[in-house]
Structure 1
Amino acid sequence: MSLLSRLPSRSFALLGLLAATGLLYAWGLGASDWANSFYSAAVQAGSHSWKALFFGSSDAANFITVDKTPLSLWPMDLAARVFGVNAWSILVPQALMGVATVGVLYATVRRSLVAFGPRTATGGALLAGACLATTPVAALMFRFNNPDAMLVLLLTLGAYALVRAQERASTRWLMLAAAFVGLGFLAKMLQAFLVVPAFALVYLVMAPTALRRHLWQLALAAVTLVLSAGWWVAIVAAVPASSRPYIGGSQHNSVLELALGYNGFGRLSGDETGGLGNTNQDAGWTRMFGAELGGQIAWLLPAALVLLVAGVWATYARHRADVAPWSEPPPAPGPDVSQPSSALRGEGASSIVPGSAAVASSVALGSTAAASSTAAGRTTTASAAGPGTATTASSTDPGPTTTASPTDLDPATATSPTDPGPTTATPPTSPGPTHRAGPTAEPDVVARATYSGPSLRTDPGLAGLALWGGWLLVTDAVFSLMQGIFHGYYTVALAPAVAALVGMGAAALWAHAAGGRRTGAGRVDAGQVDAGQVGELDRADRRVHDGGGQSPVGTPGSRPRAASAGRRDGTAAAIVLAVVVVLTAWWSYRLLGRTSSFEPWLRVPILAAGLVAACALLTGRWLTSQDATDRDPAVQRPTRQEPTDRWPADHEPTDQDHPADRDPADHEPTDQDPADQEPTGQEHAGRTPTGPDLTGQDLRGQGTVDGRPSRRRLTGRVLAVGAGLAVAASLAGPAAYAIDTAATPHRGAIPSAGPSAGFGGMRGPGGLPGGMRGGFGGPPGGGARQGGMPQPPNGRFGPPGQNPGTGGAAPGAGGMRGGGVGGGAMGGPGALLDASTPSAELTTLLKQNAGAYTWAAATVGSNTAAGYQLATGKPVMAIGGFNGTDPAPSLARFQQYVHAGRIHYFLAGSMARGRGGDSGGSDDAQQITAWIAQTFPARTIGATTVYDLG
């Protein structure tokens, strides 16, 4: 047998999902070239210097670091050391992180949904993974070299570890979750801690352990979080400033200042010393749905919010369905467990059937209760030791034996320990394989054998919903209300939570709407009820109504009420699911309307598919409820005379009809076992005289009910069509945006997902609209390269040439989406958010005799320096760091470098004047620029003013 043949079908589905995700994220990566040149220059530096790799320096000479902690750079650094510095070695690690994130999300969601059954769990997990993979901003950032890809992967790993920790109150998994979040801090600082409130609260409230243990476990997790996040910070603080690069983004060369100020609380208040000032005037609760962000993250956000609430309700409804029929506590232990229970002594818990006799006993919770019956020379025994124990069935003669466990998730695939083939439950009086709990088993034994599982508080599904819901709500609130620097691609941190809530909520509703519920020991589908359990419940309810005694399985009529509640839950779930599908389709229609020139034909089919899907789901639910009514033995009685323990439909029960008032000796056994009798025309096809046939024929929809064809096959087809159309209507819009994002090269510091016409433009400094979805257009006359051509409409690939509003692309790259202030003309000096693009003449000049200097050149701003550094492969000093506002170096220090012959050229540009005056940062860059202009002669090469400092 080959390895592939041993894999379950869900493995093939997962592999297909991961393969499709990898194709989407790796398709045409090289077209983006350096992507964000700011980080690409740091990767180049790290590939030449281990010191630069550790500190995250912008240049191999270790003058200044990037304005983030360096963990996200390390995979790219290592890839560049192995494969060289190029677009693929920089961007492929990001794509792999995206594929890994989808896989981890699948595993996390599937574990949370396990209580609904394996098929439901797998379906919900696949849906969650597909939602994440097709989120436009995820398709952007997992193809880009910003730190967000690493951050999202680490936080998703943390969520998986927390789900594992919550299941068994595991200290090890909890500490691992804290470690992943701590490493997220080393990727993007305080943004990683936005998930901490949800993680801590879920574990504190929902882990199955005592409060004292909760507290010390969380204390250990806090220590782990500090250690995993702080070890690099401690090393940097311990190294003398003269022996390490300057910490970019800080005003006092402090990594803690960077983490808590510029990259921390300053983002919330807008008070960021050395930053760009308040650049976001659109802060508010509707920010995620606005023109700038709606097409990047908000496609499924309304559905996620609705399904969060609906998923909680569905989980509660499942628990209610699990517990309601078994609401009575187990009987008290008796002094002599060998005596038959009261239910068997005369209350009809065991039926006297021709050819069989029954004895049953029950003991306290934690001991063993057993019931046995002998029929046709066979003995069947069912035992349970309370919730969480197994039920076994055995036979006294050779034949297959079935063992059933509360953890058996799919009864249809259960196999016998002695028979490798599949087994099916059969009526208790028929010879053949043994069954689970038959009519001779004591009802509370059946209850304990059937229901097991966690309480509602510790339910893994509810914990998962709380985890992802907390992640989404806290992060969304912070992103919506923060007053400081905010860019649309930050919202990729919401994508796993949105996808998980959609997958979990939809799967939970589907489990109810499609007619199947996962009860404690196994999934119970419509009509799939053991004949013995049905008979016991029916007889118990009738005895109570007639005053014949206490129902052994709960309050009078508990089963009919539970079944009715289940049908109501299924109908409500179908309605909510239909509403969510229509809402999502309508919202996609609205979002696509913002890009009227982008695939205009797509809007109407999505809306139509959503409406048809909703109708199909509601129709399928109606068929399911009708089918369940037709198949319910408690509702529809057989037309032939019932056995001795049942009443004909037109017979009014009397006291003499109670099993307690009948003498077994008065019963005349027949020579033929009822299971061997041939069915007559009056009997149901596929049924035995004692109840529904459990061979699986009716359950597969191949039999008939009262002569009418079963609706199961039609119901399944209608529901399948509805589910398929619902997924298509929900994912078509974001998938189209994601494909367009993958098909278009992206560069610059502020990338944006989706077609360019779909957004109002990323905000530039001062809250002004950007020129190209991400910033101001560059000043005219910047020395464009030959062959430059305008960007074609809609962000599509254009003819060979360059877009004069973007920087750094090689000839022939076609239309490209950038983003940044000073998008700058090609061949110009670059600006705040765009890398410079030196001409061939300037590149040759910078390379000449560069080995004699520490830095081949110096210029103001990290992005400007990055373009020159990537073009020449030589270190270039970034004066003032990313914004040109860091006090590095001071004028005096720069003069020392020049007099020592460590800097060859100074390259002036639009950033040369610095921004210290209006940002609260340093004005050293302005002072250095003025001193150079007064001291050294200048010449112009292309659009760049060059000063020779050597």
Structure 2
Amino acid sequence: MPVVSRLRRVPPLWVLLTATAVLYLWGLSSAGWANAYYSAAAQAGSQSWTAFFFGSFDAAGSITVDKPPLSLWPMALSVRLFGLSSWSILAPQAVMGVATVAVVHAGVRRATGSSGVALLAGATTALTPVAVLMFRFNNPDGLLVLLLSCAAVATLRAVDETRDGAGRPVRWLALAGLLVGLGFLTKMLQAFLVLPALALTYLLCAAVPWGRRVAHLGVAAVTTVVGGSWWLIAVDLWPADSRPWIGGSQHNSVLELVVGYNGLGRLTGDQVGAVSGPQGWGHNTLLRLLDPTTGGQAAWLLPAATVLGVAALWLVWRDPTPETLRARPTIVLWLGWTLVTWLVFSLMNGIFHDYYTVALAPAIASAGGVGAWVLWQHRGSVVATRVLGLAVLATTVMALTVLWPQRGWQPWLPVTVTVAAVIALCLAASAHRRAVPLGGGFVVIALVTALAGPAAYSVETVGQAPSGAVPHAGPDSPRARAATGRDTVSPVGTLLQAGRPSPTLVRLLTRDADAFTWVAAVTGANSAAGFQLATGRPVMPVGGFNGTDPAPGLPAFRRLVREGRIHWYVAGGGLLRADAGAESAEVSRSGSDSAVRIAQWVRTRFEARRVDGVVVHDLTRPRAGAG
């Protein structure tokens, strides 16, 4: 009994954060290197401070990853402290996930004053399947979501301080701008998708004159620029011949990376150096995020959160109460974040992957939670009852859209959701007819309807071991396997998956390794990642991530070979076939053909040998008579 009594005194927030930590850390090492591309870069950053600063793929500094380096730094520092392992690379991501849940909880608690609603928003964030995936993975998105969530809460704090007459709101707004700038150094222009929501919230809701509002936003703009540009300026000023090539660019330019491959090209589809399959990047319509596969990542509550947010915003503007008035800026911000991100992700023509939708997780949870709370304060009205019932209906339709194609996975799940939804709708209809407020029974059944599907998908995600460049949450499916490239992985690796070289091949590559700058070169960064992580030595990813960067060009590669700086060349990496060094016909590509030309030159000049099914060329031993 004393133990039970002590447990009851544990703050609910700590229970939520502990449960989230268990969910995100459980069996973490089963994912191996997760995204080996970033794991290899973290390994390089742990071996060389120069590689650390630039975000170089390899410690010898041949080329950077195709993102800014901020998301690599926590991993690289962890590897320096604890050694190279799955845990040292992935544990920082899990910590970011727990921190994100705490930030969402804090923001909702401050807006509503309700511990229960804050816990619900935090739990919804934690149980979003793509959040479970990405906070157990090492893509940049986890850090991006944490930074932008902090920026949102800092903006709301600035608004509150203009109303309370305490403190200096401009400091909080400046902090928000700095955090968005750091988000830019995490995943470039995607960080700026939240700016319309942040700026609009302060403009509409701050309790200071309009001139001061604009001036305060000007300060935030300055800190955003400073936070997001200092690394770009340093790279631009650094002599190009003494730093790595900027991965993802065709002209060794970080500005090109910002504007093109990782910038406007994502919207227009004009991305030199990008590759795509026969289906391109899917159908860019407003329904893109709601289809059965993409919707299972984060969109379970997207329609309901939109309905609840819009209705709550109408209520707090039309009929504000002292309790709900404080929620107005919160709804504006999170609803704006949701709608802008939904719109851009749906209509963008460039590279899009389902896991990008993790950016919606805190917004959906907060907009839906605060919106539901506002409507609950008005639950005696017909409008509020109808909207709550509509939210349950929208959630049910979305859940069945995701679950029905997967009904063979957990056949009880769509039945459970349907039955719970019918009961919740009957309770709402009964309350409406009898003109009595909804009760706690409705809340419990509605939560079952809303969270049963995402929770099941999240548990399934924890039980998997996702790897590669394009991970996917939830149960396995043909589309998920095609997206990750798991069906086509080879010992050398592929465009999206790192290979696993045999011990015999690793011993061969590391023989006399100290005499060379790079123990090997191979086309494509994922192919190179498998060899670099296995050998612990720099491996040159010819052509960068896609094999489409002119890094190095054939003349530069020939010079490095002549200088004795590269020992082996591994054939068949990335998009190339080991037998002919030609491009695969399965994808379309643009950008440099240097990788193809290098492969052809190596094949004609150096003898090939096969080791455990992998073709390698010793670049220190030309063919007899080769020119």
Could you say whether these structures have the same fold, taking a TM-score greater than 0.5 normalized by the shorter chain as the test?
yes
Residue-by-residue CA offset, 1:700-756 (whole Å, 9 max, x unaligned): xxxxxxxxxxxxxxx8xx822221121112100111001101110000111111112
Alignment of 1:592-611 (within 5 A): 592-611=403-422
Pick aligned residue for 1:820 from 485, 498, 502: 485
Alignment of 1:794-873 (within 5 A): 819-820=484-485, 823-825=488-490, 828-873=491-536
| SS of alignment partner, residue 544 of structure 2 | coil
Deviation at 1:21, TM superposition (A): 1.1
What residue in structure 1 maps to residue 166 of structure 2? none
What residue in structure 2 maps to residue 895 of structure 1? 558
Pick aligned residue for 1:501 from 367, 371, 378: 367
| SS of alignment partner, residue 271 of structure 2 | coil
| 1:477 maps onto 2:477 in alignment | no
Residue-by-residue CA offset, 1:63-86 (whole Å, 9 max, x unaligned): 111000010011111111111110
| SS of alignment partner, residue 19 of structure 2 | helix
What residue in structure 2 maps to residue 733 of structure 1? 453
Q: Does the 8 Å contact 1:262/1:272 carry over to 2? A: yes
Tell me whether 17-26 or 579-588 shows the greater mean CA deviation. 579-588
Deviation at 1:597, TM superposition (A): 1.2
Deviation at 1:900, TM superposition (A): 0.9
| SS of alignment partner, residue 275 of structure 2 | coil
Residue-by-residue CA offset, 1:302-323 (whole Å, 9 max, x unaligned): 101110112113324652xx4x
- The letter for the 2-side match of 1:290 is D
CA distance in 1, matches of 2:12, 2:388: 23
Pick aligned residue for 1:931 from 582, 590, 601: 601
What residue in structure 2 maps to residue 298 of structure 1? 299
Q: Does the 8 Å contact 2:245/2:551 carry over to 1? A: yes
CA distance in 2, matches of 1:914, 1:884: 12
Deviation at 1:847, TM superposition (A): 1.3
What residue in structure 1 maps to residue 396 of structure 2? 585
| SS of alignment partner, residue 756 of structure 1 | coil
| 1:287 maps onto 2:280 in alignment | no
Deviation at 1:820, TM superposition (A): 2.5
CA distance in 1, matches of 2:432, 2:173: 41
- The letter for the 1-side match of 2:254 is V
**Are residues 941 and 586 of structure 1, via their aligned partners in 2, closer, same or farther at CA, if it must alter by over 3 Å?**
same
Alignment of 1:4-15 (within 5 A): 12-15=11-14
| SS of alignment partner, residue 315 of structure 1 | helix
What residue in structure 1 maps to residue 571 of structure 2? 908
- Identity fraction in percent: 49
CA distance in 2, matches of 1:607, 1:865: 48
| SS of alignment partner, residue 293 of structure 1 | helix
| SS of alignment partner, residue 949 of structure 1 | strand
Q: Does the 8 Å contact 2:151/2:176 carry over to 1? A: yes
Number of equivalenced pairs? 603
Deviation at 1:618, TM superposition (A): 5.5
Larger fraction in helix? 2
**Are residues 844 and 943 of structure 1, via their aligned partners in 2, closer, same or farther at CA, if it must alter by over 3 Å?**
same
- The letter for the 2-side match of 1:141 is M
Deviation at 1:611, TM superposition (A): 2.1
Q: Does the 8 Å contact 1:152/1:492 carry over to 2? A: yes
Tell me whether 482-491 or 271-280 shows the greater mean CA deviation. 271-280
What residue in structure 2 maps to residue 642 of structure 1? none
Alignment of 1:623-772 (within 5 A): 719-757=439-477, 761=479, 772=481
Alignment of 1:471-620 (within 5 A): 471-513=337-379, 567=380, 569=381, 571-617=382-428
Residue-by-residue CA offset, 1:903-939 (whole Å, 9 max, x unaligned): 1101101534476995331111111111111111111
What residue in structure 2 maps to residue 147 of structure 1? 140
CA distance in 2, matches of 1:277, 1:79: 34
| SS of alignment partner, residue 833 of structure 1 | coil
**Are residues 737 and 916 of structure 1, via their aligned partners in 2, closer, same or farther at CA, if it must alter by over 3 Å?**
closer
Residue-by-residue CA offset, 1:520-568 (whole Å, 9 max, x unaligned): xxxxxxxxxxxxxxxxxxxxxxxxxxxxxxxxxxxxxxxxxxxxxxx5x
What residue in structure 2 maps to residue 711 of structure 1? none
- The letter for the 2-side match of 1:477 is L
Deviation at 1:512, TM superposition (A): 2.0
CA distance in 2, matches of 1:883, 1:505: 43
What residue in structure 2 maps to residue 879 of structure 1? 542
- The letter for the 1-side match of 2:473 is A
| SS of alignment partner, residue 485 of structure 2 | coil
Q: Does the 8 Å contact 2:291/2:402 carry over to 1? A: no
Deviation at 1:7, TM superposition (A): 12
CA distance in 2, matches of 1:822, 1:948: 30
Rg (Cα) greater in structure: 1
Q: Does the 8 Å contact 2:141/2:359 carry over to 1? A: yes
CA distance in 2, matches of 1:824, 1:8: 50
Residue-by-residue CA offset, 1:219-257 (whole Å, 9 max, x unaligned): 111111000000111111111011111110001111111
What residue in structure 2 maps to residue 941 of structure 1? 611
CA distance in 1, matches of 2:26, 2:565: 42
Q: Does the 8 Å contact 1:885/1:916 carry over to 2? A: no
| SS of alignment partner, residue 293 of structure 2 | coil
CA distance in 1, matches of 2:7, 2:86: 36
What residue in structure 2 maps to residue 122 of structure 1? 115
Alignment of 1:77-476 (within 5 A): 77-113=76-112, 118=113, 121-169=114-162, 170-276=169-275, 279-316=280-317, 318-319=319-320, 322=321, 459-476=325-342
- Give unmatched runs, 5+ long, in structure 2: 163-168, 621-627
**Are residues 923 and 250 of structure 1, via their aligned partners in 2, closer, same or farther at CA, if it must alter by over 3 Å?**
same
- The letter for the 2-side match of 1:305 is T
Structure 1 vs Structure 2 CA RMSD: 2.3
Deviation at 1:892, TM superposition (A): 1.1
TM-score by length of 1: 0.61
**Are residues 40 and 934 of structure 1, via their aligned partners in 2, closer, same or farther at CA, if it must alter by over 3 Å?**
same
| SS of alignment partner, residue 882 of structure 1 | coil
**Are residues 773 and 46 of structure 1, via their aligned partners in 2, closer, same or farther at CA, if it must alter by over 3 Å?**
same
**Are residues 237 and 609 of structure 1, via their aligned partners in 2, closer, same or farther at CA, if it must alter by over 3 Å?**
same
Residue-by-residue CA offset, 1:813-837 (whole Å, 9 max, x unaligned): xxxxxx1387323xx2112111122
Deviation at 1:168, TM superposition (A): 2.4
| SS of alignment partner, residue 107 of structure 2 | helix
CA distance in 2, matches of 1:915, 1:904: 24
- The letter for the 2-side match of 1:865 is A
**Are residues 277 and 611 of structure 1, via their aligned partners in 2, closer, same or farther at CA, if it must alter by over 3 Å?**
closer
Residue-by-residue CA offset, 1:358-396 (whole Å, 9 max, x unaligned): xxxxxxxxxxxxxxxxxxxxxxxxxxxxxxxxxxxxxxx
Deviation at 1:622, TM superposition (A): 7.6
Deviation beyond 4 Å, 4+ runs, structure 1: 4-9, 617-623, 914-918
| SS of alignment partner, residue 842 of structure 1 | helix
CA distance in 1, matches of 2:405, 2:318: 40
- The letter for the 2-side match of 1:752 is H
Deviation at 1:24, TM superposition (A): 1.1
Q: Does the 8 Å contact 1:166/1:203 carry over to 2? A: yes
CA distance in 2, matches of 1:249, 1:508: 46
| SS of alignment partner, residue 300 of structure 2 | coil
- The letter for the 2-side match of 1:292 is T
CA distance in 1, matches of 2:221, 2:11: 39
| SS of alignment partner, residue 752 of structure 1 | coil
| SS of alignment partner, residue 937 of structure 1 | strand
CA distance in 2, matches of 1:949, 1:489: 40
What residue in structure 2 maps to residue 422 of structure 1? none
Deviation at 1:614, TM superposition (A): 3.4
- The letter for the 1-side match of 2:612 is G
CA distance in 2, matches of 1:77, 1:606: 43
CA distance in 1, matches of 2:582, 2:215: 51
